[in-house]
A and B are shown apart, each in its own frame.
Chain A
Amino acid sequence: MDLATFGVQLLNAIQYGMVLFLVASGLTLVFGILGVINLAHGTFYMLGAYMAYGIAAATGSFWLALIGGMAIAFVAGLALENVFIRRLYGRDHLAQVLLSFGLILVLDDIRQVVFGKDVHSVAPPAFLSGSIQLTDNMSYPVYRLALCGFCLAIAAAIFLVVQRTKVGMVIRAGAENREMTRALGIGFDQINRYVFATGIALAALGGILVSPISTVFPGMGDGMLILSFVVIVVGGIGSIAGAAIGALLIGLTDTFGKVFFPNISSVLIYVLMAGVLLWRPNGILGRREA
């Protein structure tokens, strides 16, 4: 493998890792801060992509699809939290898994009613639709590069909110010790619903942003859900920075695994996960149990 090819593969790996991070960040927020396992996360990723298709087809604007899709997902997240999820705080994981699995089935059927069963695609915004010549016979879509930038911006935004704002402080305190935060009279429970809605909106955002380079199809969320769980388990549950590291590791392992060890590439990321868990049972940046 010459240097140019290696560079391109590295770019592939990082770009894939960025997308994984975007989707996994929402999952790790909800899991880490609310303690809720949301299996329907992948379904919202899929719904995001379908909303991007639906809104872009109706209005012709990708940006409108981006904002509209996120807004709808956020509101849906608030409603779901209000009706269902809040009953799950502190309950055991089985109840959470059952409820969110039920959500998968219901949301999948809603998707079938609203958008049908067809495969669709979404056009990227015009000024991002070109490509750059990388090697003599291979070019790279500009949109993929823009996607990297977008993911970095989202990561920075999440980091700033969680680490540098008062709201972030309350969130961190609540994640650290729920009862103590409540006892101190801090309005942690009011923030919960926004954390959950943000998690859902991030999943949908992932689907929307990926839709121009992916394809919009019914089962697209399933694989992404599993990968997201691998990412947050490797990175450390609840840690945004951990999710970023985990996502990049998975991106690298998957990309170079496919190139160097094609026959076992499908298990490599799970080998990586097992290895990390042996070394650090709570993930790379996971908090150690007290």
Chain B
Amino acid sequence: MTHRILLPGLTRRGLLTGAAGAATLAVAPQLRSPAVAQKAPLKVGLMLPYTGTYAKLGQFIDNGFRLYVEQKGGKLGGREITFVQVDDESKPEAATDNMNRLVGREKVDVVVGTVHSGVAMAMVKVARDNNTLLIIPNAGANDATGPQCAANIFRTSFSNWQPSYPMGKVVFDAGLKNVATITWRYAAGAESTGAFKENFTKQGGKIVEEMTLPFPEVEFQALLTRIATLKPDAVFSFFAGGGAVKFVKDYAAAGLNKTIPLYGSGFLTDGVLEAQGEAANGMKTTLHYADNLDNPANKAFLAAFKAKTKMDGDIYAVQGFDSAALLDVGLNAVGGDDKARDKMIDAMAKAKIDSPRGPLSFNKAHNPIQHIYLREVRNGRNEFVSIAHESLDDPARGCRMA
């Protein structure tokens, strides 16, 4: 508090950088000179779910991002990095306030977030309004790199369209012509099953019924009975988290998996395999990552992540890691001077990252272009089967930059 009285303009920065606070105060008077100011740490706002349903995902993204920064000695593009954390609790209603707090009060230079699509879309709106550099490390809402796309907004994860689209061909090629879909009635579910349907019907398949239930309800028994009556050749589903565990277990408990194979986008079996146990064995899903991808970047990443956190890295950790890698590319191109915004964004858009997930680049809407893998659940892991779609771009429908 005394600091605030003595140095009103500078203390806030000192307080926020935490451990570095004292050091900042020591060099504070020099900050007024622009040449030195450039060397002040770049402030990264991590707006992620640290509590609530998606808390684990937020934690893994956070760890992945910090791991990359640590590997670069705490610097990206030669610039020191400090963090400001905000727990978005996956609450869309608080998203605008949280984002404004990061940008307005904390004056962060770049925001990284978040998991929940509703929260992310509120962040996108604020970022568009005040031109904040935003990197989305998970949320898949198609709109973020569709109608709402902007030069200052990047995504390092996926669009909801992306992981599900290739499954349409995988299922059709397996000789399954009549398929029922089931998901929660919300944007991610509709976009995911919509992409599957788009490709599946293009191949010549037929969707016999599109079942939905309210988000995030987990009472599936009525619809499982409906599936048993419909007798489709297969079922495509989109669920995540606790709902994914329960759906896969209920599906198996009803004995449906013996006659009607269950497919899904990879979120159905990612991060929840331990809880799904036997019920998930042999399930095939598509995603932009597989646990045992045999490339040097992935092996190095998994080893480093394990050493840092004692936990096994997953796609969320990879997305956090790649968010830092993308920022690194941008800052490298401008020698750490994030005020050279145009040049920095240009470099980020052209980035070619050797990601643990395989080669990663970006389309004009700033959505990833990446391999989508077909995986199968074996030994409690989502193991690589084949590349379902090589370097899949996103159609970025409605984006003016595309």
Residues of A at the B interface (CB closer than 8 Å) are 1-2, 5, 8-9, 12-13, 15-16, 112, 117-121, 131, 133, 135, 137-141, 213-220, 223, 254-256, 258-259, 262-263, 265-266
**Complex: A105 Cα to B281 Cα, angstroms:** 36
The answer on a CB contact under 8 Å between A258 and B245 is no
| B223 adjacent to chain A (CB < 8 Å) | yes
Q: Given A213-B250, A213-B253, do A12 and B218 touch, yes or no (CB 8 Å)?
A: no
Q: Which of B51, B56, B275 contacts A215 (CB 8 A)?
A: B275
Contact residues of B: prevailing secondary structure: helix
Which of B55, B231, B242, B250 gathers most chain A CB within 10 Å? Answer: B242
- Measured CB to CB, the nearest residue on chain A to B242 is A217
**B151 interfacial by beta-carbon distance below 8 Å:** no
Instruction: State A274–B219 Cα separation when bound (angstroms).
Output: 22
**Does B55 lie within 8 Å of A9, measured CB to CB?**
no
Give Cα A288 to B221, complex, Å. Answer: 37
| B207 → A minimal CB distance (Å) | 14
Contact B53 A218 (CB under 8 A): yes
A76 to B3, CA, bound (A): 45
Q: Complex: how many Å from CA A119 to CA B280?
A: 15
Does B249 belong to the interface (CB within 8 Å)?
A: yes
Least Cβ–Cβ distance between B275 and chain A, in angstroms: 4
Contact A121 to B213, CB < 8 A, known contacts A16-B219, A138-B255: no
Closest chain A residue, CB of each to CB of B227: A138
Contact residues of B between 222 and 239, Cβ < 8 Å to A: 222-226, 228-229, 231
Closest to B245 in A: A215
A215 CA to B221 CA, complexed, in Å: 14
* One of A1, A138, A220 near B224 (C-beta < 8 A): A138
Pick from B221, B223, B256, B274: contact of A15, CB below 8 A. B221
| New A-B contacts (8) at CB < 8 Å, excluding given A8-B225, A121-B275 | A118-B274, A119-B242, A131-B254, A215-B246, A218-B53, A219-B216, A258-B213, A259-B226
Contact A255 B222 (CB under 8 A): yes
Q: How many residues of B contact A (CB 8 A)?
A: 43
Instruction: Establish whether residues A131 and B216, one from each chain, have CB atoms under 8 Å apart when the complex forms.
Output: no
Q: Once the chains are docked, how many angstroms separate the CA of A263 from the CA of B216? A: 15
Q: How far is the CA of A67 from the CA of B277 in the complex (A)?
A: 25
Residue contact A131 to B214, C-beta cutoff 8 Å: no
Taken residue by residue from 186 to 224, chain B's Cβ proximity to chain A (1 for < 8 Å, 0 otherwise) reads as 000000000000000000000000011110111101111
Contact B223 A258 (CB under 8 A): yes
Cβ contacts B266-280/A at 8 Å (1 or 0 each): 000000101111000
Provide a sorted-by-A list of 24 A–B residue pairs whose CB atoms are within 8 angstroms: A15-B221, A119-B275, A120-B274, A120-B275, A121-B245, A121-B275, A133-B255, A137-B258, A138-B228, A138-B254, A139-B253, A214-B246, A215-B249, A217-B241, A218-B53, A218-B55, A219-B242, A255-B221, A258-B213, A258-B223, A262-B212, A263-B212, A265-B213, A266-B185
Contact B277 A121 (CB under 8 A): yes
Q: Nearest Cβ distance between residue A207 and chain B, in whole angstroms?
A: 13
